[in-house]
Amino acid sequence: MVPVLNHTGTKVSVYGNHDFDFGIDKLMELREKTNCVWLMSNVVDHETGRPLAEGKVFHIQEWCGRKVGFIGLVEKEWLDTLSTINPGEVTFTDYVEAGSMLAKELKHRGCDIVIALTHMRTPNDVRLAESVSNIDIILGGHDHVYENKKVNGIHILKSGTEFKNFTVVTVDFSESPIHFNFDKVDITSKYDEDPELKEILSKFQDKIEVEMCKELGEFNCDLDGRFSSIRTQETNLGNFVCDIMVASTSADFALLNSGTFRSDRVHSAGPFFLKDLCSILPMIDPLVLLNVSGAQVLKCLENGVSQWPKLEGRFPQVSGIQFAFDPSKPPGSRVDEQFVKIGDEYLKKSSQYRMVTKAYLAMGKDGYDTLTSAETLIDEETGPQLTYAVQNHFKAIAMKEGRTRRSSIHHQSLVTLSRRSSLVRQFTLDGKNHLPTRNQSSAIGNEIEELEDTALTPKIARRIIKIDNDIYARLLAERENQTMETH
């Protein structure tokens, strides 16, 4: 990204959550190579006593004879999700408080306009606009959408994601109040490539493209990875990945935050390449196996649906578990305990279950703080890395079909799914008694067997259910029928 930022002439930026993915030291190393000013107006690092990652609190720039003031504001929601930053080691000032103080200061210093660069969800940008009058325009990020709205006389502009769009903003100072004009630009093939930037990036691309064009397998259906779907409901893409998580660790169930899935698009049926997988799962995510109580399971599910219908990354994708939630109820009481099933058995709060998730969530990120007290059965050093587990699944299918043979022992074992459970039993975990589930013979188990049968047709499997009156009655009848069958 450094060559791209420099070549496009970026002048001022605000830090976002993914800038911290590889830690402060790496961020600082890369920041020094950029030509732009980096802002962080409302988070202070306790270690240095200065803004996090040495960002500036504000910046004033002369532009066409006018003074333009910039501030950079972030929300606490994503600050709490950073795996490389301990929230207890920084001080967060509410963006409204910081924005109000700094915008007033910049106007006092003679700025003709004040621009707030933000990395926040739209509702927080709206709150900022409603509360701070000295800001003239908010240029936002974080939401992967193109959006332009006016709130309290202040424009809120989000210019999309992945360089798919940008916006030309024209400022007319001859009018009072100042007038802004917006021209959306969609990046399509009608624009020629920049020859200089193409040459700069070519040295990276040549090696990557060869690997990325390797075919992993072929799906018989579309895969839904759109944020509007995967962050609000069960999807077949989420089911596919979570099924592999269960199979590769012999867990009772898997829970994965939907923020893990990054492609934000529908992947069409047909050949599936490494570049597709990397667009879906671009982050390095080791898996861990935890021993959790039924009560902890409930807390996880409540956290997962607490922000619905916001497109929050904490919304869960799952395998081996079924639950129902009522979005009309307040956060914290949306999941109906009596309808939670793990395997074929209804949840018992006092029972213990083997849960596979990623290390990031086990650290309590994205609101899953209840997991910090869970016993670790397989840690991140021992557990598989998520993208490797998916790649190995494709390799296992190819081996079973006789299309490839294993040439090296120096990668994760490519045992077929039906053998993985016996393999993982070798790790038997301090002789602890877990609730005996019927995962392998249940409907969930049947789905895993379908994976082994190489039919790459993941489906919606009624794992995440939104409750209404009809659904409630149906779920209640199902529970009563199962109770009668077992007595």
Query: Is residue 137 located within the same domain as residue 278?
Result: no
pLDDT category, 81, cuts 50, 70, 90? low
Q: Would you say residue 82 has pLDDT above 80?
A: no
Assess whether pLDDT exceeds 70 at residue 487: no
CATH of residue 158? 3.60.21.10
pLDDT in tens, 22-72: 678 889 999 999 999 999 999 999 999 999 999 999 999 999 899 999 999
Give Cβ neighbours of residue 481 (< 8 Å, ≥ 6 apart): none
- Main-chain dihedrals φ then ψ at residue 410, nearest 5 degrees: -90, 50
Average pLDDT over residues 308-337: 96
Token pair in block for residue 53: 């990652």
Q: Which residues contact 179 (CB under 8 A, 6 or more apart)?
A: 171, 172
Domain boundary among 167, 186, 205: 186
Domain with residue 232: its CATH number is 3.90.780.10
Q: Hey, what amino acid is at 200?
A: I
* Mean pLDDT, residues 190-196 taken together: 92
Mean pLDDT computed over 63-83: 87
What pLDDT band is residue 199 in, cutting at 50, 70 and 90? confident
| Euclidean distance between CA atoms 214 and 222, whole angstroms | 19
Tokens of 473: 């009655």
Residue 26 parent element (H or E) = helix 24-31
25-34, 72-81, 93-102, 227-236: the lowest-pLDDT one: 72-81
Q: Does residue 205 form part of some domain?
A: no
CA distances from 299 to 154, 305, 355, 458, 481 (A): 39, 10, 13, 28, 27
H or E element that contains 270: strand 270-273
- 354 in the same domain as 241: yes
Pair (348, 297) in one structural domain: yes
Q: Cα–Cα distance between 214 and 319 in angstroms, integer? A: 28
Are 168 and 218 contained in the same domain? Answer: no
Residue 399 shares a structural domain with residue 250: yes
Q: Is residue 381 part of a domain?
A: yes
The alpha helices in 50-132, defined as continuous H runs, are 76-79, 95-108, 122-131
Q: Are residues 113 and 250 in the same domain?
A: no
The answer on pLDDT for 12 being more than 90 is yes
Alpha helices (H) in 403-459, listed in sequence order: 417-424, 443-452
User: Which DSSP symbol is given to 257?
Assistant: E
403-458 pLDDT, tens per residue? 665 443 323 333 333 333 333 333 323 333 344 343 433 444 444 455 555 468 99
Same domain, 218 and 338: yes
Average pLDDT, the chain: 87
Answer yes or no: are the C-beta atoms of 331 and 307 closer than 8 Å: yes
Judge if the upstream peptide bond of residue 3 is cis by omega within 30 degrees of 0: no
120 and 217 share one domain: no
Q: For the chain, what percent of residues have pLDDT higher than 70? A: 87
Residue where a domain terminates, one of 186, 205, 225 = 186
Residues 155 and 258 in one domain: no
Pairing relationship of beta strands 37-39 and 253-257 according to DSSP bridges: unpaired
Average pLDDT of the segment spanning 82-94: 84
Q: Residue 201: pLDDT above 50?
A: yes
Neighbours of 343 (CB within 10 A): 22
pLDDT for residue 196 is more than 80 = yes
Mean pLDDT of 210-230: 93
Using alpha carbons, select from 44, 48, 49 the residue that is nearest to residue 91: 44
For residue range 357-381, what is the model confidence (pLDDT) as tens digits?
A: 999 999 999 999 999 999 999 888 7
Cα gap 301→77, rounded to integer Å? 18
Q: How many domains does the chain have?
A: 2
**238 in the same domain as 162:** no
H-run or E-run covering 223? strand 223-224
Task: Specify burial of residue 116 (Cβ count, 10 A radius: 0-12, 13-18, 19+).
Answer: buried
Give me the pLDDT at residue 274, please.
94
Residue 215 has pLDDT above 80, yes or no: yes
- The torsion defined by the Cα of 217, 318, 244 and 288, in degrees rounded to 10, comes to 140
68 found inside a domain: yes
- Tell whether 207 is covered by a domain: no
Calpha distance 288→279 (Å, rounded): 22
Q: Is 160 in the same domain as 249?
A: no
- On the question of pLDDT at 384 being above 70, the answer is yes
Q: Is residue 38 part of a domain?
A: yes
Q: What percent of the chain has pLDDT over 90?
A: 67
Determine the structural domain holding residue 115 and report its residue range: 2-186
End residue of a domain, out of 133, 151, 186:
186
Q: Are residues 21 and 79 in the same domain?
A: yes
Three-state DSSP state, 188: coil
As a whole number of Å, the end-to-end CA separation of the chain is 62
- For residue 350, give both structure tokens: 């006092």
Q: Average of pLDDT values for 385-391?
A: 89
Neighbours of 191 (CB within 10 A): 9
Predicted TM-score (pTM) of the model is: 0.60
| DSSP code string of 320-379 | SEEEEE-TTSPTTS-B-GGG-EETTEE--TTSEEEEEEEHHHHTTGGG-GGGGGSEEEE-
242-277 residue pLDDT tens: 999 998 888 999 999 999 999 999 999 999 999 999
| Of 352, 351, 392, 359, the residue nearest 378 (C-alpha) | 359
Please check whether residue 356 lies inside any domain of the structure: yes
Could you tell me if residue 192 is inside a domain?
A: no
Please give the structure tokens belonging to residue 15.
């830090």
- Domain-embedded: residue 191: no
